[in-house]
Amino acid sequence: MFKLEYRSVIKFLTKEGVSPTDIKKRLDAVYRDTSPSFSTVKEWSKQFRLGRESIDDEPRSGRPVEVLTKDCVKLVEEEVLSDRRLKTKEIAARTGLSKTSVLRILHEHLHMNKVSARWVPKLLSSLQRTERKACSQEVLDAYRRYGKSYLESIVTGDETMVLYYDPLSKRESMEWRRLGERPPRKAKVTQSTKKIMATVFWDCHGILMIDIKERNTTVNGTYYATLIEQLREAIKQKRRGKLSRGVRLLHDNAPVHTAAIAKAAVTKCGFEEIRHPPYSPDLAPSDYYLFSRLKADLRGRRFSSDDEVAQAVFAHFEDKTPEYFFKGIEMLITRSANCIEIEGDYIEK
């Protein structure tokens, strides 16, 4: 049997003083795919160093070890492919194999792991994936043509809801504890219903404008057109020369952004719009970068008024450096490349 041959080699090399790592390398060079695992080599090397001489298995009581034949592997594979949500014990019951053998087949032979579904904004159609690729390619082409100046010309923005209270997640609540200490306890709390809407415009140097919407104010094309005009004034005051060099506006396809009056305001202000694909928060810097970090900072804090929430939003950005904002804009290039590479599908976080 091969395993006795392997053990003989391991025994000989161990007595010569060769380390388990080097023994494994030499076995791999000769036996290749049939070579034993490193854990097996390490265990037998340890036994021989401790004085063991026999290369045979010790007699064991209990259920005999199952031989994992190709038929066993095929049987498990068929069961899994028939229902990918089957539990290990259910596969074992259907095949007559032990749970341990099923796990070995799944991990070592089929190289399968059970993973949770990934939530995405939308199940994209082939046409939508093609659109995402096309928009990403336009971004990459412009970057290759203009380089860093392209990133510096981008102004991006979006709206986000900021809650009076957003509880920490279970992962965010983790604390260091000594061995034997009781873990922290936390009562289940829900998000508050009170919130404000903040519209944030920014570029690679920092925040240009933050608008906090008053309660009972209608968000429509007219409202957004007013913000676009205010944005132009903010750029004029904070980024001298940027308007003359050209501003490229990147925002999503929300109805208020695509309304005729909003489009007219963008044209009037002399902004060039960067084409953005629908259902693509993973390609919008405010969504994949700015807002996620803002909300992570505010999560777990309680506010009692709109003013307190607004002050917290402004305070969050006060100590951020230009490098912080440039990173968020620069990520658009790598994300666009990734989008093309995965055929327009959503980008993993």
Question: What is the secondary structure of 287-329 as a DSSP string?
Answer: IIIIHHHHHHHHTT----SHHHHHHHHHHHHHT--HHHHHHHH
Predicted confidence at residue 296, as pLDDT, reads 92
Predicted confidence at residue 60, as pLDDT, reads 63
Predicted confidence at residue 307, as pLDDT, reads 94
Tokens of 228: 């676009």
Architecture of the domain spanning 126-176+190-341: 2-Layer Sandwich (3.30)
In 34-192, which residue ranges form alpha helices assigned H by DSSP?
Answer: 38-49, 70-82, 88-95, 99-104, 126-146, 148-153
With the C-alpha atoms ordered 20, 25, 28, 30, is the resulting torsion angle positive or negative? Answer: negative
Predicted confidence at residue 187, as pLDDT, reads 76
Within 8 A by CB and 6+ apart from 36, the residues are 3, 6, 27
Distance (Å, whole) CA 315 – CA 320: 10
**Minimal CA–CA distance to 235: which of 225, 226, 247, 223?**
247
111 in Cβ contact with 104 (< 8 Å): no
14 in Cβ contact with 23 (< 8 Å): yes
Predicted confidence at residue 64, as pLDDT, reads 55
Distance (Å, whole) CA 332 – CA 131: 16
Predicted confidence at residue 67, as pLDDT, reads 64
299 in Cβ contact with 166 (< 8 Å): yes
268: enclosing H helix or E strand: helix 260-268
Instruction: Report in angstroms the alpha-carbon separations of 75 from 67, 70, 92, 99, 246.
Output: 13, 9, 10, 14, 64
**Minimal CA–CA distance to 166: which of 200, 195, 144, 199?**
195
Predicted confidence at residue 55, as pLDDT, reads 87
Sheet of 195-203: strands edge to edge? Answer: 206-212, 195-203, 154-163, 248-250, 272-273
CA angle 221, 223, 227 (to 5 degrees): 110
277 in Cβ contact with 135 (< 8 Å): yes
Within 8 A by CB and 6+ apart from 143, the residues are 150, 151, 333
Low-confidence ranges of the chain (pLDDT < 70): 1, 59-67, 216, 349
Predicted confidence at residue 117, as pLDDT, reads 78
With the C-alpha atoms ordered 268, 274, 280, 283, is the resulting torsion angle positive or negative? Answer: negative
64-115 folds as Arc Repressor Mutant, subunit A (1.10.10)
**Minimal CA–CA distance to 164: which of 338, 6, 309, 262?**
309
24 in Cβ contact with 41 (< 8 Å): yes
Distance (Å, whole) CA 186 – CA 51: 53
Domain ranges of the chain: 1-57, 64-115, 126-176+190-341
Tens digit of each residue's pLDDT (9 = 90 or more) over 63-94: 555 567 888 999 999 999 999 999 999 999 99
